[in-house]
Structure 1
């Protein structure tokens, strides 16, 4: 009997053979790169995993650093300046055609991370009304910027038809509150902060335009091949923390506040934000699919990006992700 060994089955065999590490071995040290400041509530699952000892249980010790956006994370992971990091489900399709061999290894929810949020006073009734508006993103190397380009393209709006400013994580909220921006590509905590400051908002879901994706854990093909136990351990710890966040947002918000000093005294606010994430981002049907990439969805997003000249070429869909580390 002959057995056809594909690249995917070879990867699975390698992971199965090497992912179990002896309990007595020294912790495996690695560098984890965030796409934005790690204190943001978007990264609550990471802090929950850290505080509850889920990384330690996998015998992993992480040094954390911050890049300016998910695309920059992918670049640094690809060249070996970081071992693993955070991005979006779309990140690999943006960088892989440029020779950066990075793929997603876990998807943190089935819904889009971002929404388009505008000040109600800006008079944006539909996404087509974004033409001529001032819009903010945290950086031009962030996947949120590419999501904005996709939204504009879907509504027949050219990049030059709007004023897009790179304002950083703090600027997106501050400038909306100051009424210096008409809208932003927003995550849950930014919308919450703006509304808490008394600014009325309108919300536009990106997935009404194209199937945008949630946060993802990204790793290089090299690290996946050479250190599968590290990748598998990070994925397992993060997924355990993500399930905790879905099951008990209140306790996870408390752990986050305890772990991040700048949020002391903001327990109620952080719980409110986390509940938004649970409903708007992490929600997955069926629940057993949590963490997994859908190749059909990846193909659809990539085709949309290619058609609208957001990426110059397409990568094979099977090179964009791996579900091999999910159990």
Structure 2
């Protein structure tokens, strides 16, 4: 075989590999990636949705939303997870990060209370013991908004930063009256036999769902990758909404930490499907509502959570979300 023939043969052998090469992408979670809140990501990866979009996605875990935003901003991760309002806080601190997809048109957090506490809604929170994850977290910011909706301030209730484990344990023990919590924490409390009342925070405050975050640089340099990622993720969310029980069965097969917990996971997915994932009226799934962002930023300014406002148009883009 002469050199020319050898080169041609090698080219033909390599061509199929090149044609199927996957685009590399890293996604940084703000908390352990086995949490049920991140089920759409695990389903999109485990069921091959990312692969079908030409993506090879590597999951990594950061140290909270602020850390994720920082790592995404400096290029240590291509995309990352936060809440829809995360860019309000981090962009004011010089991190050029914005939301590129919102996982639902409802708020991520719910207000839940022990029925025996006498609470029936936000107006009854004065003087009550209320748990949040931390004082630098959306659960805290949202409860401030809930209190403000009734003319109450932080000092009018006993707010306690107890972490996710504390929220569950102290509600079960009766050492908390209410919590600002995500669906899986509420499910764990109810699973222990505690009777709860609850309401979505977004009924009284412009709370938002989880969001996919990207830097301005990635948006400019790799827009097609973001589009593919969001499309695959949306497909997984649609699976959960269409059949939470079937999605739960697939999820527990993919995430061994939840083996033998299928019924509980199905209940959590049902909660997300009905309380978080539905798109806001007039908006496609994944799209940000600029008026909601503006209202949230106005409250954060008034409450001293941020010191200066940034243009709302810099907080998000709906360019990567499929139209209705």
TM-score normalised by L of structure 1: 0.86
Q: 1:33, 1:169 → 2: CA distance?
A: 20
* Secondary structure at the counterpart of residue 208 of structure 2: coil
1:242 equivalent in structure 2? 237
Q: 1:69, 1:135 → 2: CA distance?
A: 21
C-alpha displacement of 1:68: 4.0
2:58 equivalent in structure 1? 63
**Residues 154-176 of structure 1 deviation map (CA, whole Å, 9 limit, x = unaligned):** 33333344343333333321221
* Stretches of structure 2 lacking an aligned partner (at least 5 in a row): 1-16
Q: 1:231, 1:167 → 2: CA distance?
A: 35
- Whether 1:279 aligns to 2:279 is no
2:321 equivalent in structure 1? 326
- State the Cα RMSD in Å: 2.2
- Whether 1:48 aligns to 2:43 is yes
1:264 equivalent in structure 2? 259
2:216 equivalent in structure 1? 221
1:145-164 equivalent positions in 2, closer than 5 A: 145-164=140-159
C-alpha displacement of 1:286: 5.6
1:95 equivalent in structure 2? 90
Bigger CA radius of gyration:
2
C-alpha displacement of 1:179: 2.0
1:35 equivalent in structure 2? 30
Q: 1:192, 1:54 → 2: CA distance?
A: 28
Q: 1:68, 1:164 → 2: CA distance?
A: 23
- Whether 1:107 aligns to 2:102 is yes
- 1:182 maps to which of 173, 177, 185: 177
1:98-137 equivalent positions in 2, closer than 5 A: 98-137=93-132
- Whether 1:304 aligns to 2:278 is no
C-alpha displacement of 1:23: 7.1
Q: 1:48, 1:196 → 2: CA distance?
A: 24
* Compared CA separation, residues 162 and 136, structure 1 to 2 (3 A): same
C-alpha displacement of 1:92: 0.9
2:12 equivalent in structure 1? none
Q: 2:207, 2:286 → 1: CA distance?
A: 15
Conservation of the 8 A alpha-carbon contact between 2:142 and 2:205: no
* Compared CA separation, residues 262 and 104, structure 1 to 2 (3 A): same
TM-score normalised by L of structure 2: 0.86
